[in-house]
Amino acid sequence: MDSWIYSIAPHLDRAMQARDGHTSQHCDRVARMAVRLGEAINLEQHDLLVVAMAARLHDIGKIDLPDSILFKRGALNDAEWAIMRTHSTRGERFILDQRDIPFREEIARIVRHHHEHWDGTGYPDGLQGEAIPLLSRIVSVADSHDAMTSSRPYHPGRTHAAARSILVAERGVKHDPAMLDTYLAAITR
Ligand SMILES: [Fe+2]
């Protein structure tokens, strides 16, 4: 599974690694966990490939953001958040522009919607429930989990137990209940 993730878009992996090593490593872990969740719900091989690529590239749009936002230590203000939130549509556009990536329309669509919330409060389109693409819901759970458990210079990673209780609190709010339940059973056991 791992090798083909890297063989499809090695130039994008290198670009992300060079620009922002933390985001690259985060995307790498999210891809592995998204595939595990996909396997747990018996996704077919094509969808596993699409979810792996979408997860691997989900934050690629961040490489376009200014250093002052991408590398800011501490909380972003409202104006900075508004710019940060453009990373999902920037990523969509970036992937659509890569003519050598197979299934790029499907992958770009999953990237576009990886910050939608089950209750409709996410971005960029405020999609709700099953209107959010299934593979985006999978990336979202794995993304949230990894973001909470990984350490940054300005905050330590949470324990798996702490991350788990936050994910449970977000069940049906941020996350698809079925995807979250399967994820917790499959990954944080
Ligand atoms: Fe993101």
Residue holding tokens 């972003």?
A: 76
In sequence order, the 6+-apart residues with CB closer than 8 A to the CB of 67 are none
pLDDT surpassing 90 at residue 80: yes
pLDDT score, position 100 = 87
Residue holding tokens 């949470």?
A: 158
Domains delineated in the chain: 2-187 (1.10.3210.10)
Distance CA 155, CA 162 (A): 14
Taking CA atoms, 178 is separated from 37, 158, 171, 187, in Å, by 11, 24, 9, 14
Structural contact between residues 18 and 72, judged by C-beta atoms closer than 8 angstroms: no
Distance CA 93, CA 71 (A): 22
pLDDT of 143-160, one tens digit each? 999 999 998 766 789 998
pLDDT of 119-144, one tens digit each? 999 999 999 999 999 999 999 999 99
pLDDT surpassing 60 at residue 189: no
- Measure 18 CA to ligand 1 centroid, in angstroms: 18
pLDDT of 12-46, one tens digit each? 888 888 999 989 999 999 999 999 999 999 999 99
Taking CA atoms, 93 is separated from 33, 59, 88, 97, 121, in Å, by 24, 12, 9, 6, 22
pLDDT surpassing 80 at residue 112: yes
- Measure 88 CA to ligand 1 centroid, in angstroms: 6
- Measure 99 CA to ligand 1 centroid, in angstroms: 22
What is the model's pTM?
A: 0.94
